Amino acid sequence: MIKVPRGTEDVLPEKVKTWHYIENKLHKIADTFNYKEIRTPIFERTELFLRGVGETTDIVQKEMYTFEDRGGRSLTLRPEGTASVVRSYVENKMHGLPNQPVKLYYMGPIFRYERPQKGRNRQFTQFGIEALGSADPAIDAEVIAFAMQCYESMGLSSLRLVINSLGDLESRKNHRQALIDHFTPHKGELCEDCQTRLEQNPLRVLDCKKDREHPAMGTAPSILEYLNEESRKYFEDVKDYLETMGISYEIDPTMVRGLDYYNHTVFEIMSDAEGFGAITTLTGGGRYNGLVQELGGPETPGIGFAFSIERLIMALEAEGIQLPLEDKLDCFVVAMGDQARKEAARIVYNLRKAGLKADKDYMDKKIKAQFKAADRFHSKFVLVLGEDELSEGKISVKNMATGDQEKKSLDEILTYLKEMMQGGQHHG
């Protein structure tokens, strides 16, 4: 028996209903925020992620699925969504569109070669948004509000929004130097990765899982002490907008997010639900102002977030939230005898053409077993067709909610059922 690859899973039909509900809800929210969907390829040239995600990141160094195609080109299954969206933005010259900022969203599979654990698969589904072209702090607040609404609209309540500012290039440079000065005396005590990071990207040292207990971590200089006037003002404006919108937040000066291209606003939304597990982050995002140029476009500010739908589902389970999923058949046709079976096939076909969810027995079951099947499908109506009904040109209709049963002629069955479906269940 061949099994599913490690770190992947099948979403079985009964679970897919949940996915449909969540996906439809996310499409609707994106619509109300006036974001348009973009669909990019699942694999891209490897160079895109080296430049777009950053060569010093864990994603690029340890987690990418990279392969050579038959033409000897190096391709990579996308390990995140932003780089692809920005590549498409540059390639299709979206900066020239009349409506700015360009507001995009995407939903689809992402691949990372990680150690599989609860809530962390090697293939998972990400929903994300990017707003490109505006340096207005109000769009930062809009993006955060969008993320919050995704969770709140599903009924989640144990949410915590954490924000920080990484400042502009100048602020980051000064902070970077301060970090190097701070950690260099302890360099030998840090893990191998951090020793490399200290030279390449010292901000990432703060993000290390292995060294988080090291005393030097607690006393590391905070970025907030190094924000210049402009960066400080920007952060204040973002906070003002959030307060005006009634969105509560807390500030965590140690939050850096794992990617190289962030600056100014960064944020995470956590689940505080009991039993949610060790990794409490539901979503993360932030502003990236150098990424479009890095990928060959004009200087363009951008901000976005992304989250795993699998983790959203885990959060719903942790809070015990039941989504209002509808899974009922409109009609199930029970038939007895060869002639009736043929007629049943025609009736089911016509019901479906008229937009009703209909099915029949294909297992040659006895009448009692056919009724049981109708029950398992939670069918609202059961239509019974036997030799007697056939000779009369009629069919018995049983309303499963009320138990009422009546005979209708085969010609009027469609009109009758449509009437009943539209809430005319009381007469008759």
Tell me, what's the pLDDT at 427? 46
Give the range of the structural domain holding residue 407, as residue numbers without chain letter.
Answer: 331-421
Q: Say if residue 314 is in the same domain as residue 354.
A: no
Whether residue 324 is contained in a domain is answered as no
Q: What pLDDT, on the 0 to 100 scale, is given for residue 259?
A: 59
Rounded distance between C-alpha atoms, residue 158 and residue 274, angstroms: 9
Distances (CA, A) of 422 to 73, 144, 153, 418, 419: 57, 40, 28, 6, 5
Residues 214 and 188 in one domain: yes
Domain presence at residue 236: no
- pLDDT per 10-residue tile (average), the chain, 428 residues: 96 96 98 98 96 83 95 97 97 97 98 85 97 97 98 96 93 89 90 85 81 86 93 98 98 76 90 81 92 94 96 95 93 96 96 96 96 96 95 95 94 92 60
Residue-level pLDDT at 424: 54
335 and 198 in a common domain: no
Question: Which residues is 110 bridged to in the sheet?
Answer: 124
Which tokens hold the place of 21? 């509900």
Same domain, 264 and 390: no
Q: How many Cβ atoms are within 10 Å of 115's Cβ, its own excluded?
A: 9
| Three-class DSSP category at 154 | coil
Cβ pair 297, 90 in contact under 8 A: yes
Q: What is the CATH number of the domain that holds 357?
A: 3.40.50.800
- Domain identity same for 158 and 173: no
Residue 109 and residue 198 share a domain = no
d(CA 247, CA 239): 9
Residue 325 lies in a domain: no
Angle between helices 309-318 and 13-32 (to 10 degrees): 110
Instruction: Check residue 193 and give its pLDDT.
Output: 84
Query: Which of 198, 227, 256 is at the close of a domain?
Result: 227
**Shared-domain flag, residues 77 and 93:** yes
Q: How many domains does the chain have?
A: 3
What is the chain's length? 428
CATH of the domain at 163: 3.30.930.10
Tens digit of each residue's pLDDT (9 = 90 or more) over 184-235: 999 888 898 888 888 888 877 887 878 888 888 888 899 999 999 999 999 9
**Are residues 134 and 181 both part of a single domain?**
no
CA distance 199 to 277: 33
What is residue 313's predicted lDDT score, i.e. its pLDDT?
A: 95
**Does the residue 150 lie in any domain?**
yes
Within a domain: residue 283?
Answer: yes
Measured over all CA atoms, what is the biggest interatomic distance in the chain, rounded to whole angstroms?
A: 96
Question: 0.95 cut: is pTM over it?
Answer: no
